[in-house]
Amino acid sequence: MRLVSFVDPGEPSVVRTGVVVDGEVVDLTDPAVALPGDMTDFLVAGPGAMERADAAAGSRARRMPLDRVQLRPPVPRPAKVLGIGLNYAAHVAETGATRPEHQVWFNKQRTCVIGPGEAIEIPRVSAQVDYEGELAMVIGRRCRHVPAAGAASVVAGFTVANDVTVRDWQFRTPTWTLGKSFDTHGPTGPWIVTGDEIEDPHGLRLRTWVNGDLRQDASTDDMIFSCWEQIEYLSTVFTLEPGDVISTGTPAGVGTSFDPPRWLVEGDVVRIDIERVGTLENRVVAEPAP
């Protein structure tokens, strides 16, 4: 399934959950299906909600053309947005860093999250804004101490993420949080592809273009720490919850790796495509005046 959070232009203040079927969005909040309109609440509802969503295509629920609705981030307000750094071997090489012995984690504030088609803002305080195309996992159930061998069972599905980073602010703190968390710097989407469609997320082709110029072209099998190892590591420390977004690292080709660096500027369009997952596209604008 492809699960979305969307807005009907006729009711712009109401975010709904839906499932994409044959170019249409089936409204899962319709009384014929009666599922929660918030994606986190939908995931909390568990396997029964997934089964009802899967059956919704054959129901009498309202459906709309996909190109008529406005897609929101698949999880509009995740409890946690976590990212791993230096997790692709080729990316480590291009940075000149040492291959990490342990996983390097940071958090992005959830207020940075935006959806497909929304604008990435260049903040007034920096011009060093970089793109990072990434595969992201969405947690499907509350869990702790998950072994890598069983990690797939706690993942609801996968989406595309852009770990937009303000490089000079990234290194103002050892946690990287400030440079990772500017508003609008967490694009995700266009949907969650459920885990039954992607049993093994390793070996997927990931590409990032800026204005049609291919910048990143890699396979997710270049990860140093696998998706399942990441879940094991994180859940050793704290509880993972439905709707948590875990961004699994970026491959080589980020803007800072060029000489001179190729930062994002106003007017750019960033497009990230991950095989079997989807395509996420966002334009770049200047931060509006306060």
Model pLDDT, residue 265: 98
Contact 152, 269 (CB under 8 A): no
Return the bridge partners of 206, or none. 218, 274
Residue among 220, 172, 171, 169 at smallest CA distance from 198: 220
pLDDT of 199 reads 87
Q: Are 284 and 262 in contact (CB under 8 A)?
A: no
Distant-in-sequence, close-in-space partners of 12: CB < 8 Å, separation ≥ 6: 70
Domain with CATH 3.90.850.10 in the chain: 81-286
The pLDDT of residue 112 is 98
Whole-model pTM over 0.95:
yes
DSSP-based three-state secondary structure for 157: strand
Given the candidates 3.50.50.60, 3.90.660.10, 3.10.20.740, 3.90.850.10, the CATH classification of the domain at 81-286 is 3.90.850.10
pLDDT at residue number 40:
98
Q: What digits encode the pLDDT tens for the residues 260-277?
A: 999 999 999 999 999 999
pLDDT at 246: 98
Rounded to the nearest angstrom, the gap between the alpha carbon of residue 25 and the centroid of all alpha carbons in its chain is 20
- Residue 268's pLDDT is 98
Report which of 36, 115, 39, 110 is spatially closest to residue 72, judged by C-alpha positions: 115
Candidates 283, 47, 11, 52; CA nearest to 162 is 283
Low-confidence ranges of the chain (pLDDT < 50): none
Contact 86, 225 (CB under 8 A): no
Q: Please report how many Cα atoms fall inside a 13 Å half-sphere around the Cα of residue 50, on the Cβ side.
A: 16
DSSP type of residue 64: E
